[in-house]
Each structure stands twice: as structure tokens, then as C-alpha cells.
Amino acid sequence: MPIYEYRCPSCGEKFEKLVRFGSDAAVHCPRCDSDAPQRQISLFAHTGGASDSAPSYSSSSCATST
């Protein structure tokens, strides 16, 4: 089950919720109980550029057989 990030437009609360695939159940804000939170784009789903701590997967580092 994926974890989605939400933001409530009523009170501004930001929270995460574990949501089952295919579920159409309404998500409610834990602070004000609004049923209109908006799902946000998660930063950990973003694939950025290479960093010193991340492994490099360039094609030149792979062994290929011809």
C-alpha cells in the first residue's frame, strides 16, 4: 500500500495516509476532520540528479557482452 501526502485546504494541516490500491474511501483531515484534503506530490518519489551518496548507474559502468 502506498503512503500519500495530503494537505488540508481548510486548516493547512499536512499529513500522510496509507491508502489501499483501488480504495475510494474518503480521506479526512486529522486536525479538523474535513473530507477535502488534497493529495500532494511526494518529494521521495522525485528522481533527481546524481549525488555523492547515491550509486551511479551509468551505462559505462555496466559490463556488456557483444
7 pLDDT more than 80:
yes
The topology under which CATH files domain 1-43 is Rubrerythrin, domain 2 (2.20.28)
Closest to 25 (Cα-Cα) out of 56, 4, 11: 4
Average pLDDT over residues 1-30: 89
What residue segments make up the domains of the chain, in order of their start? Answer: 1-43
Please list, in sequence order, all residues whose beta carbon lies within 8 angstroms of the beta carbon of residue 11, skipping any fewer than 6 positions away: 29, 31, 32, 34
Annotate 1-56 with DSSP letters as a single string.
--EEEEE-TTT--EEEEE--TT--PPP--TTT--S--EEEPPGGG------SSSPP
pLDDT at 57: 53
51 pLDDT more than 80:
no
What is the value of pTM for the model shown? 0.57
> How large a percentage of the chain has pLDDT more than 90?
39
